Chains A and B, each alone.
Chain A
C-alpha cells in the first residue's frame, strides 16, 4: 500500500557524509555568523554594540563611535567588509556579460581597475549599486549590498561565463584614512604606492595573494583588501602591527556611515529601495532618480533596462531626484520631511549629520521632481528633534548643494601622501 514504507531513509549513510550534513545543518544554532576576522573584533569590542549585517555579527562601534570617525579622518581606520556580497564572474564573455548587465561601459574598465556601478531590471529600476573589480581580462569581482545570484545567472544565458557567490570564502577589509598608505607600505606591500585611485593589484601575503585596491567608502585616502578567508587573521595582524605607530584603529559601521555621508555616497536600502525588495510600486527608482544617471552609457551595446531608461528620459517620466542638502543650523535632519514653501511636502531626508569636516549640517534627500531638479528655491526641512521626551519641531531652510560635501585632495593625489 503505502509507497512510503518501501524505502528506509538513513539506510546506510556513511558516517562521514552524515557528519558533514550535520555540520551543514547546524547553522540554525548560530543565527549570526562571525566573519573571518571575528576573533580580532571580539577582542577589541569594548562596547559590544553589534548589528546584523546580512546575517553576520558586525559592530556598530567597537570602542567609541565619535572617536572611530576621527580615526578615519586623522589616522587609519580598519573596517571589516567581509559580509558584503561578493560574486566571482569569470569566463571569455565575462566582460560582455557585465557590460550587458550593468550600466557603465565595462569594455573601458581595464584589468587592474575598479569602478562604481549599478544595475537595473527591465523597467530601468535600480536593483543595486556596487563595485566592480576587474582582476584580469576574464575575471571580475562584483561587490554589492544585496544578493543577486538568480538575476546574474539568468542574465548569463548566451554568455560563456560562470557566476559564483563567494561571500563566505573571501574576507575583506577597508583600510581608510590619511595614514593608510603608510600603513600598507610599512607592512611590506611593495609597490602599493603605484596604485592610483580605482587601481587594484595583487600582492603576496602569507603564502597567498591579497588583492588591494585604492578604493573605499569614505571619500578619503584609502584601500580595500580582499583575501582568502583562512588568511584573514594574519592579514589583520600584519596591518595592525605595521599600523600601530601610525595610529591604526579598528572601527564599526557608525563611524564609516558618517564618513560616507560626507563623501556624498549613497547606500542601497538606506537612501533608496532596491527593486527586488520594493513591495510598493512607487518606491522603485531609476538611476536618474538617485543620482546615478552619470553611469548610463547609451552609446555602448545593449544593457539591462536601456529601453525603459531611454523612454523615461525622452518622455520625461523621471519622477524623483536625489540631492545633497545643506541645512541651516546644526541639528541633524535624519528622516525629516522636505517642504516647498514650508507647506507642500516634496520629499524625505534619508541620511543627515553635522559634518565635522565640512562644518556644515548636511543631508541626502529624495525629492519629487521638479523640486530639487529645476525648482531648488524655497525648500525647507521639518526636523523633529527628540529632546528629553519632547519633540522640538524646527523648520529649517535647506539648500540644494553638490555632492560630495567634502573633497579631500589626499583621496586622489599621487603618489599617495605619506603621513
Chain B
C-alpha cells in the first residue's frame, strides 16, 4: 500500500526544502521528523525563562537564491532588506573595533586608509574568485567517470568564467585556490584585527587553523553564499532562525507536503538492493518508491540502512568521513545588554568577532588537534534581542555565540571539561566586554557532544562532515556517490553532508530534489 511517492527523513531546513520542491513538482511527499519541532539545528528555542535564541545557526548568510525563488519564500514571509544587513565587527581588547559594513565589508571603518584600499582590492578579488565557484553550489558535482553533455557544458561555463578573469587573474586564482588563508592575508593586509576576522571566518566550523593549507576555501565558501542578492551579506532573522524554517514550512504546506513530527525513523527498509520504505521506532512501516534522507550520511547508512545492506568499500568511505565538530554554542541570558570595548551601538547589533590575529586563531586551533580545548577561544557573538525585543524579557539581553575550538572528543571528557571551557570563554568575554560576567542570569553551553545528542548530528558537526577540500564536490559525502543518489536504488541524500555542504542554504535539499525529479520514473 503506497500512500506517498516520497518519504523525507529529517525535518531540518534541507529536508523541508527537498520535500517542498518535490511536492511542487507533483509528488506526494511525507516528511518525518524525530524531534517534536521542525528545523533541526535551525530552530528558535527557549533556553531560559523568557529568553529565546537561534539554536545552532544564528546568522543567515547563504540561503540560496534558487531556494528563495523556487519556494517563493518572500511570499511566505521571508523578506530581507538591504538595510537589515549586519556588520562584522572585529573586536579589540583595548582599542576601537574594525568594522566591515554592508555586504561583507563594502565599507571598512576603523582601519588606516592604506588598509582600506588593500581591503577593497582583496574583497573584490575574493568575490571574483568565489563567483567562479558559485555556480557549483546549485548543481550536482561533475561525474568524472562518464560526463554527460550537460556536465561538460557547465564545466565549459566555468572555464569561460575563468577566462574572463584574464590571464593574470586566472593565474592568481589557480595559485591561491588551495592556499592557506594566513599566508594570503599576510600577502595583502597589515591590520591584525582584519586578518584575525578573516582567518576566523575562513576556519569557522572546520578542523583547520588559518595556517592549514586549503583554509582559504572556507572564505570562498562563505562568499559564494548570498543574502538578499548580495554576496557575503549577513542577516539576523527576526524571530530567530526558526522564522526561516517557518517560511520554508509554509511553502511545504502550501505545496501539499504532509509533515509528521516526533516520529523517529528506526530503519530504512531494503529489498534486493532497493530502498522501499522506512520503519519507525513504533514498528510502523511506511513504503514509498523514493526515500530521501536529509539527515547525516553516516547515520543514514550505518544506522538506518545498516552495513549489511551496503558494500564494505562504501561503508569504509562513510566511516572515513571526518565529522568531529570543533564548535561550541554559547547562550547567555543577560540582565542587560553588554558593552563591548571599542564598538558603538550599531556594531552591537552586528556580528562581534573575537579573533585578534591569525596567529591567535592558530594558537586556539593547536590544542584541538590533541583533544584539548582552546584556552583562549575565538568566537562570533550576536546579541539578537537588540534588534528583536521578542527574544528576551524587557531590558534583558540574549547573547548567542559560536565558539571554537572545542574538540568533540575532549581527552578529559566533556563532563569534566565543560565547566573549564565555559570559564575560558567567560574570561575572553570579560576581557572584551568588561562586567559582562556579573550580568549573566543563565548560561547554556552546548559542546559538540551536546549538539550531537540534542540535534542528532554525529560528532556535533554542523556541516555533517568536515568541509575541507578532500570532502568537497565529487568527494562529498564520499567519492563515487556525490550526486545525491546512493548505492541503494530509490534512496537519496539531501542533507548538509552532501554537496555543497552546511549552513542554512537549502542547496543540498534543492539539488537532491532536482536530481530526483530529473530521473525517469
Report A-B touching, CB under 8 Å. yes
A122 touches B314 (CB 8 A): yes
Judging by beta carbons under 8 Å apart, are B312 and A307 in contact?
no
Q: Is the CB of A158 within 8 A of B273?
A: no
**Closest beta carbon of chain B to A170's beta carbon, Å:** 25
A interface size (C-beta, 8 A): 19
Cross-interface CB contact of B273 among A122, A154, A159, A307, cutoff 8 Å: A307
Residues of B within 8 A of A96 (CB): 308
A159 in complex: contacting residue of B308, B309, B310, B316, CB < 8 Å: B308
A106 CB to nearest chain B CB (Å): 13
A369 contacts the other chain (Cβ, under 8 Å)?
no
Instruction: Enumerate chain B residues within 8 angstroms of A305, measured Cβ to Cβ.
Output: 311
A292-312 Cβ-contact flags toward B at 8 Å (1 or 0): 000000000110111100100
A-B contact pairs, 29 of them (CB 8 A): A101-B312, A121-B311, A121-B312, A121-B313, A122-B311, A122-B312, A122-B313, A122-B314, A122-B487, A123-B313, A151-B312, A154-B312, A154-B315, A155-B307, A155-B312, A155-B315, A157-B307, A157-B315, A158-B302, A158-B307, A158-B308, A159-B308, A301-B308, A302-B270, A302-B273, A302-B308, A302-B309, A304-B312, A307-B273
CB-contacts of B471-511 with A (<8 A) = 487
Kindly state the separation between the CA atoms of A254 and B487 in the bound complex, as whole angstroms. Answer: 44
Give the nearest-CB partner of A124 in chain B. Answer: B311
On chain A, the residues within 8 Å of B313 by CB distance are 121-123
Q: Hey, what's the 0/1 contact readout for B260-296 against A, CB within 8 Å counting as 1? A: 0000000000100100000000000000000000000
Bound complex: CA of A274 vs CA of B316, how far in Å? Answer: 19
Q: Which residues of A have CB within 8 Å of B487? A: 122, 307
Q: Complex formed: what's the CA distance from A63 to B487 in Å?
A: 54
In the complex, what residues of A have CB within 8 A of residue B417's CB? none
Q: Does A100 contact B (CB under 8 A)?
A: yes
List A residues 265-310 near B (Cβ within 8 Å). Answer: 301-302, 304-307, 310
Q: Is B306 an interface residue (CB 8 A)?
A: yes
Give the complex CA separation of A310 and B319 in angstroms. 25
Q: Give per-residue flags for A139-153: 1 if the beta carbon is below 8 A from chain B beta carbons, else 0.
A: 000000000000100
Which chain B positions have C-beta within 8 A of A154? 312, 315-316
Q: A302-B273, A310-B273 are in contact. Are A158 and B311 (CB under 8 A)?
A: no
* Across the A-B interface, the 7 shortest Cβ-Cβ residue pairs: A122-B313, A158-B307, A122-B311, A155-B312, A157-B307, A304-B311, A302-B309
Q: Which residues of A contact B306 (CB under 8 A)?
A: 158
Q: What residues of chain A lie closer than 8 Å to B311, measured between beta carbons?
A: 121-122, 304-307
- Which chain A residues numbered 330 to 388 have a C-beta less than 8 Å away from chain B? none
Contacts of B315 in A (CB 8 A): 154-155, 157
* Residues of chain A within 8 A of B302, CB atoms compared: 157-158
CB distance from A58 to the nearest CB of B (A): 31
CA distance A305 to B310 in the complex (A): 9
With a CB–CB cut-off of 8 A, which chain A residues contact B319?
Answer: 157
Interface string of A148-173 (1 = CB under 8 A from B): 00010011011100000000000000
Do the beta carbons of B308 and A100 come within 8 Å of each other? yes
Q: CA–CA, A121 to B314, complex, Å?
A: 10
Min CB distance B298 to A, Å, is 12
Contacts of B270 in A (CB 8 A): 302
Contact partners of B316 in chain A: CB under 8 A: 154
Kindly identify, within residues 78 to 103 of chain A, every residue whose CB is under 8 Å from any CB belonging to chain B: 96, 100-101
**Known A101-B312, A158-B307, A306-B273; further 8 A-B contacts with Cβ < 8 A:** A122-B313, A154-B312, A154-B316, A155-B315, A157-B315, A302-B270, A302-B308, A306-B311
Within the assembled complex, what's the spacing in Å between the Cα atoms of A157 and B457?
Answer: 21
